[in-house]
Every structure is written in C-alpha cells, then in structure tokens.
C-alpha cells in the first residue's frame, strides 16, 4: 500500500487533528493486502493509530485509519450516541460500533451515512445530512456542514494545510511512521 496514498487521504488523522479517515485501494491479492494492513498496524500502534479494512471486494478495499482514543470520545457525545442508538448500534464500546458499521457496509445497498461519526464529523452535521442531504448546507469540505460554517471552514483549511505539509515532508524523506504523531 503506497505511503503516498495514505498521506494524501489520512494526514489529518496521522497528525492527531482528526479522528479518522478513509481511503480505497485496489485489491490484487487479498493476502498481500492483509499483510500490509498488519504491518501498518505494527508500525503505527505505538502512535495511537489503528488500520482496518471496513469493506473488501474482489476489486477494492475501503480502509479506515483512526485513533481509538478520539473515536471513544466522539462516540460518547450525547448526540452521536443517541443517533447510533436509534439506528440500532450497541454502544458497549467503539470496537462493537465498528463491527456493526462493517456489517452495514457488507449488507446494506445504501452507504451508511453515520460513518461520519467514525471520521470525527460533528454529530449535528451527520444527522442533518441523513435527514436533508441537499438543503441547509452552509459550507462544504470533507463533509457538508449545516451548522457552525466558520468552524467547519477553518477545520477544512487546517486539514488541507496538514495534508500539503505532510506530502512535502514525505517528499523530503520522512516515512509514514515518522510523520504520525503519538497521542493518547
């Protein structure tokens, strides 16, 4: 799995300023993919990161890189937990929620939009998107922001700058492991 791809799509998570990111990779050999994910987990675990495949088909894999400690805090948010509970998630712990998300990605025809909660999007924006995806949008970036457009725009810019900075640092020889910050 090319480091450039991970840096392009996951720099804010590597930098510790975002809960999680998703990216897709082409699947040529599933065993090789699993080995690459295992190696990534081995190299990033001490940085407080985890890498898991959310969905694997014969053509592609949807990979989730996240910070378990941030996800735990995000899912404790009353609005986020209520939204997930209403959707049938069992809120024992974040890992149980991820297992449920994986099942929904496998079984449901439509994309589970609650995935935004696993990426660190504001629960109010996730809920508004699920109810009215096209109306009331005040700002667009990584997600559609329905409330606090200035805060969202600032975050979007921060994520953009982070990604550009990480791409430059990688070009200058910094590895993925060196770029990933340690958080608790």
Tens digit of each residue's pLDDT (9 = 90 or more) over 127-152: 999 998 888 899 999 999 998 999 99
Residue 147 falls inside a structural domain = yes
**What total of structural domains would you count in the chain?**
1
Residue 45 falls inside a structural domain = yes
Residue 164 falls inside a structural domain = yes
**Containing domain of residue 22, as a range?**
3-172
Residue 93 falls inside a structural domain = yes
Place of tokens 């979007």: 156
Q: Is the pLDDT of residue 63 over 90?
A: yes
Q: Are 141 and 122 in contact (CB under 8 A)?
A: no
Single pTM value for the model: 0.93
From edge to edge, which strands make up the β-sheet containing 60-66?
20-26, 60-66, 50-56
- The helix (run of H) or strand (run of E) holding residue 95 is helix 94-107
Residue 146 falls inside a structural domain = yes
Q: Quick one: 178 exposed, middle or buried, by C-beta within 10 A (0-12, 13-18, 19+)?
A: exposed
Residue 180 falls inside a structural domain = no
Residue 182 falls inside a structural domain = no
| pLDDT at 43 (0 to 100) | 96
Residue 48 falls inside a structural domain = yes
Buried b (16+ CB within 10 A) or exposed e, 1-16: beeeebbebbbbbbbb
* Angle at CA of residue 44, ends 112 and 20, nearest 5°: 25
């Amino acid at each position: 799995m090319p480091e450039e791809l991970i840096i392009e799509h996951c720099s804010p998570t590597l930098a510790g300023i975002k809960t999680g990111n998703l990216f897709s990779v082409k699947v040529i050999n599933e065993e090789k993919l699993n080995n690459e994910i295992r190696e990534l987990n081995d190299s990033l675990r001490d940085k407080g990161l985890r890498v898991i495949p959310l969905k694997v088909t014969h053509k592609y894999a949807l990979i989730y890189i996240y910070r378990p400690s941030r996800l735990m805090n995000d899912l404790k948010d009353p609005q986020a937990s209520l939204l997930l509970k209403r959707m049938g998630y069992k809120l024992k712990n974040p890992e149980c929620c991820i297992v449920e998300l994986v099942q929904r990605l496998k079984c449901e025809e439509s994309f589970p939009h609650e995935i935004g909660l696993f990426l660190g999007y504001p629960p109010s924006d996730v809920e508004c998107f699920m109810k009215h995806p096209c109306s009331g949008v005040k700002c667009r970036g990584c997600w559609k922001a329905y409330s606090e457009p200035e805060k969202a725009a600032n975050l979007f810019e921060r994520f953009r700058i982070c990604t550009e900075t990480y791409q430059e640092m990688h070009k200058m020889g910094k590895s993925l492991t060196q770029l990933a910050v340690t958080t608790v």
